[in-house]
Structure 1
Amino acid sequence: MKLRKEAIGWMFYDFANSAFTTVIVTVVFSVYFVQTIASGRPEGGEWLWSQAIAISMTLAAIFAPILGAMADYSRSKKRFLLFFTILTIISTALLYFVGQGDLILAMILFIIANFSFNSANVFYDAFLPEVGMKKDLGRISGLGWGFGYIGGLVTLILALALIDKHIKLVWPMVALHILIFSSITFLTLKEKKYSVQKKNYFKVALDRVLFSFKHIKKMPDLLNFLISYFLYNIGIYTVIVYAAIFGGAQFGMTQQSLIIFFIIAQVTSFVGAALFGLIADKLNVRLALSISLIIWVVVVVWAFFCNTAQEYYYLGLLAGLAIGSSQANSRTMLSLLTPLDKQAEFFGFYTLVGRISAIIGPFVYGEITRLAGNQRYAIISLIVFFIAGWIMLHQVKLERGIKFGQEYVFK
């Protein structure tokens, strides 16, 4: 497969914006928020972090269908992508000015940054069909995903150099990384010209959600998978948001130790995506995803009983394997069960389901931590979502679902 210039430019956006998820949401800023900014608060920093995540993801979920309609029916995808990217960059860089006690400002800036980051991705994803041949889109998407992991690794290594004496410089460093490498995207990515379709974006968004509800309930295997995804994604997203916070609170791991922990986990995420992609191709995707969820159950049980930082490193290896495999195969599963000419509508609904689950998980985790006074009870509670997701996954009859999706008549 020979990549076009536009495809390479498109993938550089993954390289750029993965820095935000890795450094801000998952590894460094999350711990800084809990241990420094919200230090001494009676509610607990973990609970306050859960509120910031919940608010930003609620806004992202509400606006996702509207932004998706705008992406499909305007000639301004690139302009909107630029707007939300700049907003992410500015609000991330401004985190430099928050420190201990600056709770309100820190929450406002993070909420804006996380909402903007998720909103930008709507327009970024909408460019995928324009950057390559239809037969190559899966591989281009996969390469972009892998390139994003590399971007996350690069910023983690840079953060490791700054963390000891200049931790506040990490946030503008992330903003600069996004600015530099997303510029490659904006310089190379060309928006296709076509006639403007005048649409009421709010009506289109509502129609799409209603369309999905109407037809999904008539497609039992697709419905069962989406319920399964909703349940287990609650657990996955919560682990992403709280893994570093858990390590810092339970084992006194320093920021440097946590960065190294996630560098290692990124490596096994590559392995997981590749290995379980092979299982999905050779056997079937439901089996590959089922094994991933069993690994997740082992991860949260092990986390509950984990006693040392060294043991937590080994746990990180297993968690990386689980996250790489489950995220890659979830998208594949939906694609197989969805009619080819209706993937835009159903992938939009899939995104909406994912964002709603991203609200619930951190909120539940924060509440349990606040009430129990110990994150171990919060992490073990996630086993309910992984087991429930696994049970629902086994209600999916894959061959029947694929056949039904190909033959289903939309009326």
Structure 2
Amino acid sequence: MSVPSSKNKWLTKDVFNWSLFDFANSTFATIIVAFVYAIYFKKVVALNEPVADFYWSTAINISMIIVAVLSPVLGAASDHFSCKKKYLFFFTFLCIISTAFLYFITEGMVLWGMILFILANIGFQAGLGFYDAFIKEISEHKNYNRVSSLGYAVGYLGSLASLAAVIVLQDTPRLTFLACAGMFLLFSLPIFLFVKEKKKEAEVEPGNFVKIGFKRTIETLKHIKNFRNIKLFLFSYFLYIDGVNTIIFFSANFAQTTLNFSIADLILFFIIVQVTALLGSFLFGWIADKTSTKKTLIFIILSWAVLTLMVFFANDKTTFLVIGAFAGTFLGSSQALSRSFFGKLIPDEKKTEFYGFYSLFEKTSTILGPLTFGLVSWLTGNQRYAVLSIIVFFVAGFLLFRKVKENPDPVLPDGV
């Protein structure tokens, strides 16, 4: 597949078909991770016991640790053999099947409820590294912000479609798990059917997939000291995206437990967040193109810290809904611009491998944040203190990110 020339528009068929996968996986992120299953697990499966938050954060952590270990190795090997799509398909299928089987989870089935969620989340999270790496094949460097922002915007359309399914099936929440699996399957098909993976022109050295993956990962780790700018970004990303992901995991839980949101209130909250997130993806993508991606991300990170502090003091539903509207504008943009910013820093020859490291830092970050939130909530019996702890991640992430160079010298595959 050839990369679009500068004369072509940035919105190509490949870009559109690629973006539909964001629509597909957003159904899982909304229905399973952030909303229906997250609440169903606590209220029904875990019988609303005080330890339910800890069970949920443990399931998240186990899945993230597994993905964190797998991502760089699989990414390195898929770069070597040019087989991103094959592994994207495997993990997508794992997520879809496991999600469908959540239909059979009922009261008290904590262990099976955790196991199926862990498998589904492994499929969802592991696939993202392969999906993200396609951005360097379907788009030019100058269009990364637009393309990445489009993906997240289309993803939020998927979230709105998911909420429509939730509204229709709100009296039978288990059916929403089947609806999620069906939508994920349907909208993931375009990337598998129509987007071609760029194959290496040089002859590929034969060998065991896993062995080569470990070999290339170890080589990169040995040279990681030479990738100082990339290393700085990854550690800063580890911190600030930890705060974002923790908010995603526990927002519905906090709204219902602390502010007594009803299901109707939660649906309204998520509609507001998804609409503003869609708009924010385009707005801040445009701002980043007009100013700089780094300055835009700094503003977004600091805004997250302020909004998190406001949640600590929120005492009524209206205030929380207003905060949610502002948070939504930063949600898609913080993810989209981070993805495109990283794409500008890494060498083309190791794109999937480095996006594997990107995935590793993102996934391991979601171990610390949710675990901190779950433990603080459990030990204090007050979710507000758990919310306050999230601010630390945004502040620390900002302090590191401001040292990252936005336009460094070109990076060779070995970092020198």
TM norm structure 2: 0.89
SS in 1 for 2:41: helix
1:165-224 C-alpha deviation (Å, 9 max, x unpaired): 211111001011112222333333445566654233334433444444444434444333
- Indicate the residue corresponding to 2:408 in structure 1: 403
| 2:266 counterpart (252, 258, 261) | 258
| 1:292 counterpart (300, 303, 319) | 300
Q: Bigger shift: 192-201 or 151-160?
A: 192-201
Trace 1:76-225 onto structure 2 (pairs within 5 A). Answer: 76-131=83-138, 139-163=146-170, 165-191=171-197, 197-225=205-233
1:337 deviates by: 3.5
Trace 1:271-282 onto structure 2 (pairs within 5 A). Answer: 271-282=279-290
- Indicate the residue corresponding to 1:71 in structure 2: 78
Q: Is the 8 A contact 1:67 1:122 kept in 2?
A: no
Q: Distance in 2 between matches of 1:213 and 1:196?
A: 22
1:70 deviates by: 3.8
Letter in 1 for 2:336: A
Q: Is the 8 A contact 2:284 2:333 kept in 1?
A: yes
The reply on whether 1:394 has 2:402 as its aligned counterpart is: yes
SS in 2 for 1:61: helix
1:80 deviates by: 3.1
Structure 1 pair 395–370 and aligned structure 2 pair: CA distance change class (3 A): same
1:70-95 C-alpha deviation (Å, 9 max, x unpaired): 42233654443333222211111111
Higher normalized contact order (CA 8 Å, seq sep 6+, divided by chain length): 2
1:69 deviates by: 3.0
Instruction: Structure 2: state its 5+ residue gaps.
Output: 1-8
Q: Distance in 1 between matches of 2:77 and 2:351?
A: 17
- Indicate the residue corresponding to 1:357 in structure 2: 365
Structure 1 pair 86–260 and aligned structure 2 pair: CA distance change class (3 A): same
Instruction: State the Cα RMSD in Å.
Output: 2.6
SS in 2 for 1:403: coil
1:254 deviates by: 1.7
Matched-pair identity in %: 41
- Indicate the residue corresponding to 2:3 in structure 1: none
1:278 deviates by: 3.0
Trace 1:268-347 onto structure 2 (pairs within 5 A). Answer: 268-339=276-347, 342-347=350-355
1:3 deviates by: 5.2
Number of matched pairs = 406
Q: Distance in 1 between matches of 2:229 and 2:18?
A: 33
Letter in 2 for 1:54: N
Q: Distance in 1 between matches of 2:197 and 2:258?
A: 49
Structure 1 pair 343–320 and aligned structure 2 pair: CA distance change class (3 A): same
Instruction: Structure 1: state its 5+ residue gaps.
Output: none
Q: Is the 8 A contact 1:265 1:317 kept in 2?
A: yes
Q: Is the 8 A contact 2:35 2:252 kept in 1?
A: yes
The reply on whether 1:12 has 2:20 as its aligned counterpart is: yes
Letter in 1 for 2:295: L
1:55-114 C-alpha deviation (Å, 9 max, x unpaired): 011111111122213422336544433332222111111111112211111111100100
SS in 1 for 2:408: helix
Structure 1 pair 410–113 and aligned structure 2 pair: CA distance change class (3 A): closer
Q: Is the 8 A contact 1:159 1:170 kept in 2?
A: yes
1:17 deviates by: 1.6
Letter in 2 for 1:243: S
